[in-house]
Structure 1
Amino acid sequence: MLDIPSRVRVHVETLLPAQNDMGVCDAFEQYAPVGKPDAMNAPHPSKVAGIDSTVPSPAHTVAPAPAGPDSPHVPPPHPPGALLQDRLAGWVSDLTTLHELTERLARTDTLDGALREALRAGAALVGARRGLVVLEPADGQGPDSTTGLGLARSDLGHIETVPRSSLSYGRILDGLPGCDGAVAQPDLFAEDGLHPRHREVAARLGYAASYALPLSTEALGRLGAAVWLYDEPAEPSERQEHLIGLYTRYAAEHLARLLDVERSRACLATISEELLPSRLPRIAGVQLAARRRTGPRGGGDWYDALPLPDAALGLAVGSVTGSGPSAVAAMGRLRASLRAYAVMEGEDPVAVLSDLELLLRLTEPARSATALFAYCEPTLRRMTLAGAGHCPPLLIGERRTEFVETTVSAPLGMLSCWEAPSVEVATEPGETVLLYTDGLLHRTGDSADRAFARLHAAAAAAPRAVREDPDAVAEHVLRTVLPDGLADQDSEEDVVLLAARFE
C-alpha cells in the first residue's frame, strides 16, 4: 500500500548515485540542505523524492518561456527551481491518486469485488470507459472467471467468440512471444492482420482500441489479464502507462491473497457438502427436500435422511458448536455416528440421542451439539421424535400451521447424562413437517420470539400450490424468513431446512 505523507519536503542537490535506483514509492521525503541551484537547471535532472526523472512531466507542467532583449512583453523567466516544483506537484498529485485507489482496493474483501474495483481504477488511470479482466491462474487450480466493466454478459459472450490469438489479453494468457508485458492496440481497424471476427465484434460493440496488462505475482505467477477498451483510436501516455503499471502490481498482490482465501473457502465448502447426503432417498408415501446455507468459514449444521428397516425413514438435523474446519470434521463424525445408532435402534429416538450424547461426552468432552431425530412410518403418516436442545419442528398443512410441542432439554454434551421423553406426531395427507436449525432464526437478527413468529407467519402464508411440493415449501420459507438476499449473504450462522411431505 502506498503511504504518502501529508507534507513532502524536497531539497534539491546532486544526489548520490545510489539514489538513482529508487522507485516511485520508495521515498517521499528527502532531507538535505538547500543549495546548488545549478544542479536544478542541469540538462539531465536526477531523481527527486524517489521519482524517476525519465517519466514525462505531468500535462500541467509549465514550460520555461523564451526571453530576449527584443521581447519586452515576454514575462520574465521562471525563478530557479520553479520547473522542478511544478513537476513535483504533478508527481505528488499522481501519487495521491494512486494512494486513494489502492486504499479503495484494499477495502475489498471478496475476489469478485476486488476484480471490479481494479477494473474501475484502471479505467480511470488509462482514460478508458470499458474493460474486462480475465482470471485464469497459471497453476490450473482456478477459479476461472471473466468480469466486465460497462459490458453486459452478452457483450462478454461476443468477445469470447473471437480467437484468443487475436485478442490482446488472450495473447498474454497464452504466453505468446512478446506478450509478457503490456499489449497495446491503438487502432484496431488500421491493423492489417486483425482477425475478421475481431473486427466484426469490435464494430458491433463500438470499441476501436485496447490496452492490456498481465496480472501476475512472483509467488503464484500469472493470475490473469486485464484489458481496457477505448471508443476511439487511442493509447495511454507514457505517464499513464507508468501509473497503471504501479497500480496493477499492487492489485495483483491483493488479488493473489483473495484468491488463496477463495480457494480455501471452496475447498472447505466441498468437504462440508461431501459429508452430507449427495441425494435424498426415495421412500413410498413421503417426499423430501432440503436447503442448506453455509457461512464463509464453514459450519457444523447438518441434516440426514436414511432408509430404515420395515419401510421406515429416519430424519435428523443438528448443529455442532463452533465454525471452521474443526466444526465441519466434528459434524461429519456426529452424523456418521447417528446413522449407525439409527440403523440399530431407530424406532427409539431417545435411545439414539442418548448413545450419541455418550459418544460425544467421551470422545469430545469440550464440544456440545444440538440434534433432533425423528423415526417416520410413512404408510401410517406417523412420526416419533426426540430433540436435544433443538428447535421444535413446524407442521404445515391445509388446515393448520403449528409448532410440534417437544420436551425442553439441554444440548448434547452439556449434562452428565442426557435423556428426554419422545413425542409422537400424527400427520394428515398432504401435510409437511419442516425440520430446521436455529441459524434460520439467528440470521433474522430478531429476538427468539419474533423470529419464531416470523417463521410461523411465513409458513402459514404459503400458497396452496407451494404446499403441494416440499421443495417449494423449503424455498418459500427460506426466502420469506430471510428476504432481500439475507439467505445468500455470507454469515457466521449456517442454515439447514429439511422438509418431509406425507402423501
Structure 2
Amino acid sequence: MSAPHPPKVAGIDSTVPTPAHTVAPVPPAPGAPSVPKAPAVPAPGTVLQDRLAGWVSDLTTLHELTERLARTGGLEPALQELLRAGAALVGARRGLVALEPADGLGPHTTLGLGLGRADLGHLETIPACALPYGTGTGTGTGTGTGTEIVHPDLFAEDGLDPRHREVAARLGYAASYALPLTTDAAARLGAVLWLYDGPAEPNERQRHLIGLYVRFAAEHLARLLEVERTRACMATIAEELLPSRLPRVAGVQLAARHRTGPRGGGDWYDALPLPDAALGLAVGSVTGSGPSAVAAMGRLRASLRAYAVMEGEDPVAVLSDLELLLRLTEPARAATALFAYCEPALRKVTLAGAGHSPPLLIGERRTEFAETSVSAPLGMLSCWEAPSVEIEAEAGETVLFYTDGLLHRTGDPMDRAFARLHTAAASIPRALRHDPGAIADHVLHTVLPDGLDSAGSEEDVVLLAARFD
C-alpha cells in the first residue's frame, strides 16, 4: 500500500525536502550534451535596493560637494572649488571657468584646473564664436541638449574651427563638455568647461549630477559676485575720500599704505602742507563699518584739515575742536585720531592723540614707541583734553603712524601685537631704511604675513611713514 502524498502549500512542493547542506554539483558525463542554464533574473527587491543605493550615494556626493562650495567666502576660491568638484563628477582631468557677467559690470576672470597661464592664453586665441565653452556668439560645432555644449570627439567633427583644432592638438585634449553659469534672478555669469584627454563624454547620470551641482554653484557665485562688487565699490569710495597723492615737502619723505575691509571701514590718514614750511600729518579711525562709517570718516577728515590750517601748530586745539564737532553733529559715534605738527627743517614733531596708538620711531640706533599720554577717544567724554608731546627725530629716522587695525588683524592680544610690531620695525634691512614706502611694506607684510594684509578682515589698516632727511 502506497503512502499518501502530503498536500502542496502555496505552490511549494513539500515532497522535496530542503537540503541540510550544499552539495557540489555532479559534473556531466563525458560526451553528454550540455544543457544551457537560464539567465538569472534579479529579484524586483534587489533592483529597487540597488537603485535606492545609487540615489543615496549621489545625494551624499552632492551634499558633500555643495557644502564645500558653500564654505568658500570669495570668488576665486569658489571658482577653483567648482572646477575641482566638476572634474570629479564628469570624470575629467582639466578644465577652466570663465567669469564674464552679462551686465558688463565685471569682474572678468578666467581660472584653469591643470592649465597654466600659457595654456589659458592659447585658449583665448580661439575665435569667440568657436570657443569650446560657448561664451561667444555661437555654441561651437558640438552637440548639445538645451544649455550644455558637448564635443565628444573634436578631431572627428566636420567644420571645426582650424584655430580650435590647432589649440586642442597643442594642449593635448580631444573632447570637452561645457555648461553655462546662469541663475533665475541674474543673467549669464559665464561658463565652465572640462577637457578630456581622449574622445569621451559624460554619461546620463554624470550629466544629471553636474547639472544639479552647477545650478547650485551659479547661485552661490551670484551672491559672491554681489559681495565682491559691493566690496570694490566701498574700497573705491574710501580711496576717493583719502589723499590722491601725498604732498612734497622739503626735508621729509612720505609714504602711505591702506587696506580696507570688505564692507568699508572708517580708518583714514592725511598729510597737508601748512604755513611756514610745516607739515600736518594725521591718522584716525571712526567706529563702525559700511557706508555710514566711510561717510563719517570723510567728514571728520575734511574738518580736521580745516582746523589744522587754522591752528595746526597746536595739535591739542585741533583735536579739541574736532571732538566738539563730533559730539555736536554725531553724538552716537566715537573716533580715535592722532595729529602731528611737523617742522622738517628742525626735524621736530609735536603731536597729540585721542585714544590712538603711539607712533613708532625707527632709526639706526633706536626703534621705540613715542611716549604719548593716555587719552580717551573723541566723543567719549563731555570735554576732551590731553597734553601734547614733542619728538625730535634724527637724520634718516622714520616716524611710523598706524591705526589699530594693524594690531587687531594679527588676532593676538594687544601686548603681543605691539611686540610683533616692534620686532617687525627693528628687523627692517639697512638697505630699505632710506625708502619710507619700503619701510611701510616691510612692516605691513611682517606683522601680517601669509596674506593677512589682504584678507577679508573687518578691520581697516593704515600706515603713514614720514622719513626725515
Using the size of structure 2 for normalisation, the TM-score is: 0.88
**2:334 equivalent in structure 1:** 368
In structure 2, distance between residues paired with 1:247 and 1:449: 47
**In the alignment, does 2:112 pair up with 1:148?**
yes
Shift in Å, 1:193: 2.3
**2:455 equivalent in structure 1:** 489
CA gap of 1:434–1:92, structure 2 versus 1, over 3 A, is same
**In the alignment, does 2:50 pair up with 1:86?**
yes
Compare 325-334 and 82-91 and name the one that shifted more: 82-91
Of residues 341, 357, 375, the one that matches 1:409 is 375
Contact 1:307 1:313 in 2 (8 A): yes
Structure 1 residues without counterparts, runs of 5 or longer: 1-69
**2:437 equivalent in structure 1:** 471
Contact 1:118 1:251 in 2 (8 A): yes
Of residues 108, 111, 116, the one that matches 2:72 is 108
Contact 1:303 1:498 in 2 (8 A): yes
**1:283 equivalent in structure 2:** 249
Please list, as runs of the form range in 1=range in 2, the aligned pairs for 1:74-473 lying within 5 A after superposition. Answer: 74-169=38-133, 171-174=134-137, 181-473=147-439
Runs of 4 or more above 4 Å deviation: 175-180
Deviations 1:418-455 (A, max 9, x none): 11121122212111110011121222233322222222
Shift in Å, 1:75: 4.9
Compare 367-376 and 81-90 and name the one that shifted more: 81-90
Amino acid at match of 1:283: V
Contact 1:186 1:235 in 2 (8 A): yes
Shift in Å, 1:213: 0.8
What root-mean-square deviation, in Å, do the aligned CA atoms of Structure 1 and Structure 2 show?
1.9
Shift in Å, 1:394: 0.9
Deviations 1:90-148 (A, max 9, x none): 23322332222222222222221211111111111111111001011111111111111
SS of the residue 1:367 aligns to: coil
CA gap of 1:147–1:71, structure 2 versus 1, over 3 A, is farther
Shift in Å, 1:166: 1.8
Compare 104-113 and 412-421 and name the one that shifted more: 104-113
In structure 1, distance between residues paired with 2:118 and 2:139: 27
In structure 2, distance between residues paired with 1:342 and 1:357: 13
Shift in Å, 1:253: 1.2
How many residue pairs get aligned? The number is 433
SS of the residue 1:134 aligns to: strand
Amino acid at match of 2:414: A
SS of the residue 1:375 aligns to: strand
Deviations 1:472-495 (A, max 9, x none): 111111112222322222222221
Using the size of structure 1 for normalisation, the TM-score is: 0.82
Structure 2 residues without counterparts, runs of 5 or longer: 1-33
SS of the residue 2:180 aligns to: strand
CA gap of 1:492–1:185, structure 2 versus 1, over 3 A, is same
SS of the residue 1:222 aligns to: coil
Shift in Å, 1:411: 0.9
Amino acid at match of 1:124: A
Compare 255-264 and 439-448 and name the one that shifted more: 439-448
**1:45 equivalent in structure 2:** none
Contact 1:173 1:225 in 2 (8 A): no
SS of the residue 1:490 aligns to: coil
In structure 1, distance between residues paired with 2:232 and 2:247: 26
- Between structure 1 and structure 2, the one with the greater Rg is 2
Shift in Å, 1:85: 3.8
Shift in Å, 1:78: 2.6
**1:24 equivalent in structure 2:** none
Shift in Å, 1:207: 0.9
Identity across matched positions, percent: 79
In structure 2, distance between residues paired with 1:214 and 1:112: 17
